[in-house]
Structure 1
Amino acid sequence: MAYLMDDREMSVRDKGPLWIVYPYDADRQYQTEVIYSRSIWQLNRLSTAPVP
């Protein structure tokens, strides 16, 4: 989850405040339309549930 771009907080105008991204440059397997479509931008909150 990213909240900074170039060491600055992302504004809504810059796809913030939070962005779910993959390490696209780390491996070619992350450079597909399926993976790109899984990125989430303008996320404003994330909730988790405890594991039973």
Structure 2
Amino acid sequence: MTESVQQAVEQQTRPVDPAAEGPGGWQTPDYTVVETALEVTAYSLSKR
């Protein structure tokens, strides 16, 4: 392997420490649960 490829492989195999990423590192994404008509229909049919 070339030196740059070897460095890239070594960087990918190192464990990631979320605390080391700094304040802008790992964040929990915001999400909203949305029921679609298909999900409501499937739930209604399964409860019959």
State whether TM-score is above 0.5: no
Structure with greater helix share of residues:
2
Which bin holds the TM-score, normalised by the shorter protein? under 0.3
Structure with greater strand share of residues:
1
**What TM-score do the two structures reach when normalised by structure 2?**
0.24
**What TM-score do the two structures reach when normalised by structure 1?**
0.23
Which structure has the bigger radius of gyration?
A: 2
